[in-house]
Amino acid sequence: MNISSRVRSVAVAAIAVAGVGFASAAHADTGTIRFSVYKAAFFVGGSGGEGTLTFHGRRYPISIGGVSGGLAFGVSKTYFQGTVRHIRRARDVAGVYGAAGGGGAVGKGAQVIVMSNDKGAQLELTGRQVGLQVNADLSGMSISLR
């Protein structure tokens, strides 16, 4: 009897912990995001831009900033749009996002990227790039609400 009550207690505790995890994930929500970024680089680069987060029917203006280092050169403008997942409030989208990768565009090119910040917000973006930009670098991007 003593062993089965311990097993039952452990099972109830495990279910409770799992329920809390599912409940917190269930409260997270999704929004849409659109922004444009200008990027210029000659080994070390910088980027900046602005856009809009739409969350629960409201539009929030955002600012974009970033740096990159590595083998990168050129100037480009990229128009991004996509989904923001795992946010509870609009301000959860603010933060630093990082990605490692490579790519390039001459003239018009396509970009696809998935990034996360320290609050768990996940950006799933597609983009259209105009200009000359070649890179094999580590990039970072910061989003802030204005």
| pLDDT tens-digit readout, 20-61 | 444 444 568 999 999 998 888 877 778 899 999 999 999 999
What's this model's pTM, rounded to 2 decimal places?
0.70
Distance CA 37, CA 19 (A): 40
pLDDT score, position 102: 44
For residue 1, pLDDT beyond 50: no
**For residue 52, what is the enclosing H or E element?**
strand 29-55
List the domain boundaries for the chain.
29-145
Q: Could you identify the residue written with the tokens 């444009």?
A: 36
pLDDT score, position 128: 83
pLDDT score, position 115: 87
Looking at per-residue pLDDT, the higher value among 63 and 24 belongs to 63
Q: Which residue, 40, 128, 46, 113, is CA-closest to 79?
A: 128
Tens digit of each residue's pLDDT (9 = 90 or more) over 100-135: 444 444 455 555 688 889 999 999 888 888 887 766
Q: Which residue, 59, 78, 53, is CA-closest to 68?
A: 78
Q: Could you identify the residue written with the tokens 């203006």?
A: 61
Amino acid at 99: A
Looking at per-residue pLDDT, the higher value among 80 and 7 belongs to 80
**What is the number of other CB atoms lying within 10 angstroms of the CB of residue 53?**
23
- pLDDT category, 13, cuts 50, 70, 90? very low
Fold of 29-145: Lipocalin (2.40.128)
Tens digit of each residue's pLDDT (9 = 90 or more) over 66-96: 877 666 778 888 899 999 999 999 999 999 9
pLDDT score, position 74: 84
